[in-house]
């Protein structure tokens, strides 16, 4: 049985976890004192909040901060992003992964400019018409930027609420998800009566899940929700939230050709937009057939883990003549297709001349 690390210990002198109070007040008072500094927390600009929320999906705060600052410097407004070139957007996103987020963000900015006069909509119905804005992001933008009492549920919030209210079932499954959304909305109704800022309430729930009510070893002794928490009361922190088995990871074996010319440049191909790594550049890569790599010089093995796929890549170096005469005629991209080709110096490619996924930078560095 996993037990919380500091049960019934008040470790933050600013918060009395045993104080008798309602949940929204306890959470937001705790948040006011304990929130971590983040650049997007200094603003109520809906575009900045939207950008940060999209970047934070699937990515840790510590990684996002530098990307966010670079991005907002280059595209400070929704108008700037809408007018920007997708290639440049992808370059700024390179290394952050899940590139469909960048493409949707770019497309979303264009929709905001063309359909909403450049202003982020302030109603749930309208904001959901923007690409990249699902229920979670809508709740975040509407509550944090516009102060609307809109709920949200992400992994952190699901963990906190399922422990406090002892909600069983995997939160990704629709019945459980519906219960959690209902609970989150009920908290907002309670908060509304007490004039609690909806954005603070949502951020408090997310922050609590990220820093205190963590998946393993929750710090219940520091938790402002300890008094209301069913899991703490019954010592069942490890039983909530319930999880079902993850989808099995499939392995793809690939062969990347590092083709170089007499000027020291390498051949890069751009993937079609949409799909995995859509719009990004890479060294020509095919599904690996036994023995094919022997036509070149071994240039290393690489492994790249995606959410449900593992890429095992063997790299092989060849010169332009061998590539053109023997390999290219029978070459097939490993998934989707390439739409552009160009010769680039490896250093320039790594330094950002083209949008490269992090695995491609590793291959070129080698
Ligand atoms: Fe512990 Fe419950 Fe607080 Fe999570 S919500 S840290 S389980 S007291």
What residue owns the CA closest to ligand 1's atom 4? 213
> Residue written as tokens 């909806």?
198
Question: 33-48: per-residue pLDDT in tens?
Answer: 999 999 999 999 999 9
Q: Given the DSSP bridges, would you call strands 309-319 and 250-260 parallel, antiparallel or unpaired?
A: parallel
Q: Given the DSSP bridges, would you call strands 297-305 and 250-260 parallel, antiparallel or unpaired?
A: unpaired
Closest CA to 300 of 357, 362, 346: 362
Rounded to the nearest integer, the mean pLDDT of the chain is: 91
Distance 181 CA to ligand 1 centre (A): 19
Distance 218 CA to ligand 1 centre (A): 6
According to the per-residue pLDDT averaged within each range, which of 91-100, 124-133, 229-238, 293-302 is highest? Answer: 229-238
Distance 284 CA to ligand 1 centre (A): 49
Distance 265 CA to ligand 1 centre (A): 56
Q: For residues 31 and 26, give the distance between their C-alpha atoms in angstroms, rounded to a whole number.
A: 9
The SS3 call for residue 324 is: helix
260-294: buried (b, 16+ CB within 10 Å) or exposed (e) per residue?
beeeebbbbbbbeeeebbbbbbbbbbbebeeebbe
Predicted local distance difference test score (pLDDT) of residue 97: 87
The SS3 call for residue 354 is: coil
| Two structure tokens written together for 37 | 């500094």
Q: Which residues are known to be catalytic?
A: 53
Question: Any alpha helices (H) in the chain, and if so which ranges?
Answer: 23-34, 46-56, 61-74, 78-83, 86-93, 100-116, 124-127, 135-140, 155-164, 174-193, 198-211, 230-234, 320-322, 346-348, 358-365
Question: What is the average pLDDT across 6-15?
Answer: 42
The SS3 call for residue 269 is: strand
Q: What percent of the chain has pLDDT over 90?
A: 78
Predicted local distance difference test score (pLDDT) of residue 98: 87
Say what the pTM is: 0.79
Ligand 1 binding pocket includes 176 (Cβ within 6 Å): no
Ligand 1 binding pocket includes 144 (Cβ within 6 Å): no
Q: List for the chain the helix, strand, coil content (%; round to 5).
A: 50, 15, 40
Task: Point out the least confidently predicted range of 4-13, 29-38, 277-286, 314-323.
Answer: 4-13
Predicted local distance difference test score (pLDDT) of residue 208: 98
Ligand 1 binding pocket includes 237 (Cβ within 6 Å): yes
Q: For residues 264 and 243, give the distance between their C-alpha atoms in angstroms, rounded to a whole number.
A: 51
Pick 90 or 20 by higher pLDDT.
Answer: 90
* Ligand 1 atom index nearest CA of 222: 6
Ligand 1 binding pocket includes 156 (Cβ within 6 Å): no
Ligand 1 binding pocket includes 210 (Cβ within 6 Å): no
* pLDDT band at residue 19 under the 50/70/90 scheme: low
DSSP codes of every residue in 156-199:
HHHHHHHHHTT--SBTTSHHHHHHHHHHHHHHHHHHHHTT--HH
DSSP 154: -
* Ligand 1 atom index nearest CA of 240: 7
* pLDDT band at residue 358 under the 50/70/90 scheme: confident
Task: Point out the least confidently predicted range of 2-6, 235-239, 345-349.
Answer: 2-6
* pLDDT band at residue 246 under the 50/70/90 scheme: confident
Predicted local distance difference test score (pLDDT) of residue 307: 77
Question: 250-270: per-residue pLDDT in tens?
Answer: 999 999 999 999 999 999 999
Ligand 1 binding pocket includes 232 (Cβ within 6 Å): yes
Distance 7 CA to ligand 1 centre (A): 9
* pLDDT band at residue 72 under the 50/70/90 scheme: very high
Question: What is the average pLDDT across 184-192?
Answer: 97
| Count of C-beta atoms within a 10 Å radius of residue 2 | 13
Peptide bond into 241 cis (omega under 30): yes
Q: Does pLDDT of 173 surpass 50?
A: yes
According to the per-residue pLDDT averaged within each range, which of 19-23, 93-97, 139-143 is highest? Answer: 139-143
């Amino acid at each position: 049985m996993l037990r919380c690390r500091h049960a019934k210990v008040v470790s933050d002198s600013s918060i009395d976890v045993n104080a008798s109070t309602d949940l929204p007040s306890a959470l937001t008072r705790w948040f006011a004192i304990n929130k971590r500094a983040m650049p997007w927390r200094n603003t109520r600009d809906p575009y900045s909040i939207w950008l940060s929320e999209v970047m934070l999906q699937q990515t840790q705060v510590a990684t996002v901060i530098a990307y966010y600052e670079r991005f907002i410097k280059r595209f400070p407004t929704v108008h700037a992003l809408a007018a920007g070139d997708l290639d440049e957007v992808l370059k700024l996103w390179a290394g952050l992964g899940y590139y469909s987020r960048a493409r949707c963000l770019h497309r979303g900015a264009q929709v905001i400019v063309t359909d909403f006069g450049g202003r982020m909509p302030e109603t749930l119905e309208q904001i959901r018409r923007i690409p990249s804005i699902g229920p979670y992001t809508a709740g975040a933008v509407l509550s944090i930027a516009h102060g609307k009492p809109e709920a949200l549920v992400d992994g952190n919030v699901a963990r906190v609420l399922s422990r406090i209210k002892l909600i069983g079932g995997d939160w990704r499954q629709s019945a459980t998800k519906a219960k959690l959304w209902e609970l989150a909305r009920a908290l907002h109704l309670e908060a509304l009566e007490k004039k609690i800022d909806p954005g603070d309430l949502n951020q408090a729930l997310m922050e609590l899940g990220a820093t205190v009510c963590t998946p393993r070893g929750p710090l219940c002794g520091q938790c402002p929700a300890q008094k209301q928490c069913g899991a703490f009361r019954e010592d069942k922190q490890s039983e909530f939230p319930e999880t079902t088995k993850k989808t099995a990871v499939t392995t793809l074996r690939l062969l990347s050709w590092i083709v170089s010319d007499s000027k020291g440049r390498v051949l890069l191909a751009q993937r079609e937009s949409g799909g995995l790594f859509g719009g990004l550049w890479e060294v020509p890569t095919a599904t690996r057939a036994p023995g094919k790599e022997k036509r070149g010089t071994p240039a290393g093995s690489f492994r790249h883990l995606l959410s449900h796929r593992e890429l095992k890549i063997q790299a092989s170096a060849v010169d332009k003549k061998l590539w053109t005469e023997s390999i290219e005629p029978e070459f097939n991209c490993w998934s989707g297709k390439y739409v552009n080709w160009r010769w680039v110096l490896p250093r320039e490619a790594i330094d950002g001349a083209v949008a490269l996924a992090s695995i491609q930078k590793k291959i070129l560095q080698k």
